Amino acid sequence: MAVTCTLVADGSSDRVLIPLLEMLLDEHCPGPYRPPHLVELPAGLSLIERIKQALDLYPCDLLFVHRDAEKESSASRAAEIRHALEEIERCPSSMLIVPVRMTESWLLVEEKAIRAAAGNPSGKTPLGLPAITKLESLPNPKQVLFDALRTASELPASRLRKFYPEEKRHGVTAQMDVDSLARLRRLPSFQHLEHQIQQHFTA
């Protein structure tokens, strides 16, 4: 039987996480699995309500719950998720996804993926991306990513007005590969996610 997976979204951009989860499942899941079902629910719902509704829609073997740290500490966000999970009856095995600040910090590890997502894979204009060691301390990684996508497009100002980085970011993780995975592993928050998945399948 294939392992079934459900991802409880923190926002509309969470589909960028699906390729990353698939790369980790490819690495650690010993058998077949089904790509995670992404569940987006109204923001007005509590985290507990969102988890319950997600599991009603897509019962699973493996539950992923994403919350950006944003202005909270990673530990605080993780505790928030764990508290919500404790309220769920017959909760499946669960993995916490807590990028520091926001998910876009993970998307900044791979220059070639950003260029490809921007529609200009052969571009040469420097993107000025921060060093990997500084990504989790950026105050606004989303803005850094959007600026990088605009720069990578190398479009003239007249066309850049119709360039929407909010949409283009969804292509970044789709362009990532095993080299990207090695870079992501240098981020403590990503290491934590992978460790959870690895432990689940080796326990």
- Residue 12 within a domain: yes
Q: Is the pLDDT of residue 63 over 80?
A: yes
The first and second tokens of residue 73, run together, are 């500490």
Q: Please give the pLDDT value at position 128.
A: 96
Query: pLDDT for 94-116, tens place per residue?
Result: 999 999 999 999 999 999 999 99
Query: pLDDT for 35-49, tens place per residue?
Result: 999 998 887 899 999
Backbone angles phi, psi at 31, to 5 degrees: -135, -165
Q: Please give the pLDDT value at position 115.
A: 98
Question: 63 vs 10, 12, 28, 93, 101, CA distance in Å?
Answer: 14, 18, 16, 6, 22
Average pLDDT for the chain = 95
- Residue 22 within a domain: yes
- Residue 181 within a domain: no
Q: Please give the pLDDT value at position 45.
A: 92
Are 26 and 18 spatial neighbours (Cβ–Cβ below 8 Å)?
no
Q: For residue 129, give the H/E element and its range.
A: none
On whether both 43 and 130 belong to a single domain, the answer is: no
Q: Position 29: which residue type?
A: C
The number of domains in the chain is 2
* CATH code of residue 93: 3.40.50
Helical ranges in 36-171 per DSSP H: 47-57, 74-86, 104-107, 111-117, 141-153, 157-160, 165-168
Biggest CA-to-CA distance, the chain:
56
Query: pLDDT for 12-39, tens place per residue?
Result: 889 999 999 999 999 999 999 999 999 9
Mean pLDDT (whole number) for 55-76: 94
pTM: 0.94
Residue ranges making up the domain that contains 142: 104-175
Q: Please give the pLDDT value at position 71.
A: 87
